[in-house]
Chains A and B, each alone.
Chain A
Amino acid sequence: MTTKTLLLAALLAGVALPASVLAQDFNPDASIRIGSLYEPQNLDNTAGAGQGINEAFNGNVYEALFQLTDAGSVEPKLVESYEASEDGLTYTFTLKDGVTFHSGDPLTAADVKYSIERVTSEASKSSRKRSLSTITGIETPDDKTVVITLSARSISLPYNLSYVWIVNDAATDITATEDGTGPYSLSEWRRGSALALERNDSYWGEAPTNAEVVYTYFTDATALNNALLTNAVDVITSVQSPDSLAQFAGNPAFTVTEGASTTKELLAYNDRVAPFDNVKVRKALARATDKARLLNSIWGDYGTLIGSFVPPTDPWYVDLTGVDAYDVESAKALLAEAGYPDGFEFTLDTPDYDPHPIVAQFLQSEYAKIGVKVNINIITANEWYTKIYQEKNFEATLQEHVNHRDIVFYGNPDFYWGYNNPDVVKLVADAESAGSEAEQVEKLTEANKIIAEDAAGNWLYLYPQIVVSAANVTGYPINGLNSQFFAYDIQKSE
């Protein structure tokens, strides 16, 4: 537990954990074996490869102009310096010197242009395509300079560029091979089982503290846990339930760390339809939900209550758990005020995988106390996508929202939950065209408070991000934002 507290403290202070605090000696030629449930379908993050490719490649094999750090800040990576024009529509980036791809080609402005266009192209399946849609032109006046012009101000441009891998423009078929600038290069990919990275000895930056990283893929969480127990892997990237931790917690051979994920368990109402168009009804349901008890049921002592859609790693986080706190009596009073003194009945479309069915039963039991009857309708993930996300044909649903910095969804009245508050729409739009990061943070913090006051959704809890490792392995990322798992600081003592 002390390790956990220490790591949490480090997280809260927003600093990277100095690996030397935990391990004095390490083997610089160690091989780090990482166990994961997320095997990439291919090696290209613009070709529907899944989150596993971000886990294995982001920051390890490929680098971007900027990097989203594990603490949630955006820092220059391949960019030496950059400046925005007065009107915020032109960004000029100067690239770092001495950066070469694994193939030996030097990094040039043309590679950057090629890489961005790869993401924004017609064929790209990147989930980040839309956020880069304001880019109207990319100029390369010389080998070290990239000029991006925008159709509208976009304060998030550096952040959005942190998702864009810089790929050698001469590389072909990067769905099965790679040519990046990162501290590791791909040494072997055995489809269906493992992906091995080896240290890039001509890396431009600081050398990794290990020689090799092997991602081994499992389809079953129990098998993954057993692999760590039997020393077949050194680290598990994300633990899915607190109960499998019983095998590791309290055992000095293992370290359990809890970081802050960005995955939010959400009871989403269809705010377009009665009675959920009534803010009093939404607030009543929020107050009738004992979230602390729910979180304990699902995650035991892990996880966080946030009171809104914003996790602590987003810059516009504020603790809003005090808004519409658990209070059954005031929930009843609000329902009566809203014109439902005897409650009402609604259907809760519940995805069929854990933890949603159990969360649904919890809510059913809680809301019965204020006279609200919940009918649970179990649906598959595909049904959720078509019926709810596309057709918006539902009353209420449960979903885990994994994205980082996704409060902007509340600024889109056409989003599946149909929340439409002109103030929030304006704040989200203004935040994007803000002149400074401080202004962006101020506006989105304001939006965050408004959605909480409006009880736009019922944010039940934030999932924990739990990493378990052998005790002799340290230095891995604890938050795993955007599924990233930077391997270059991992140290292993023998």
Chain B
Amino acid sequence: MSARRRRQGAGVLAVGVVLLALAFVVPENRVLLLNAFLAYGALVVGLDLLVGDLRMMPAGHAAFFGAGGYATVLLYQKAGLPLPVAGVLAVLIVGLLAALIGLPAVGRSSGFSFAIITFAFGELLIQLIANVPGFFGGSSGLTIDWGVGSDMPFDFSVYRYFTLWLVVVLVVVMGVVVLVRNSHLGLRMKAVRADENGTRGLGFNPTTYKGIAFVLASMLAGLVGVFWAPMNGFISPDTLGVNQSILLLGMLIIGGVGRITGALVGVALLVTLPALFDMDPVLRTVLVGGLLAIVALLQPSGIVGGLASLWTRLRRPRTPPPADGAVDATLEPAGAGR
């Protein structure tokens, strides 16, 4: 397990170095697009802790991203806290919110109930923001003036400066996911995914591990929001909506659940490519829907999952056919004919 952890950790660092280099060389008119890739990448990789590792389908993951952003802006502007302190507190607040929602939700994670409860949480948050405009800025959102812009390091623009931070966020999220997957916690989560009653029989409470994963994934989403809101200088309730949550799920399912590369490929396909080719929004919707349908029908393990299966098949040594009359014992089903 430790060799795998070292290999995956090295992979995460390598991706971080490449993205960091990209932050320096990407043309100014593509910086925002890179930032979107990094932010969505971190969101989808974090979401995979629920979908890939536990087969839980939250329909309100974007709400925690938005909650992180709103909490940062409010703590900075209304409470007057320094931005780093506001960010740390925002992530903790998101964790608390997730625990409050998570306790009743994860115990009923038989798919439908969990999705409905998380969806309801997102919609509740939107209504709260829209109906308390004095504090939350209402449906038009909140702007943030964090008083920096002219003295960026490396003479970076504000957006490019945030690229560096978003690279760090993505590397942190990937690192957390790798650590969890290669830990005893990850082993327990895989067991819960395979057979909940089996884990109870071993003395583990599946609800505990679902709860931990839910809070952790939500805090990672909140962390992205902490950087996204100041980068944009603005946050609105649209960020929290179910459309965003479904888009995040779509990216993950199309790219391939259970793999960091799957999440990143999904983001590249549904966020980066349409923007690079200036795709019409209607066409983009068709792309998302079409790819989802194709993947669901033909390759439920996603594009990367499919490619990995193909690679495994190609690498498997071909065995010559048995000589006439010979029976390959390995092809006999267990217990057959005895």
A and B interact: no
Binding site for A on B (CB under 8 A): none
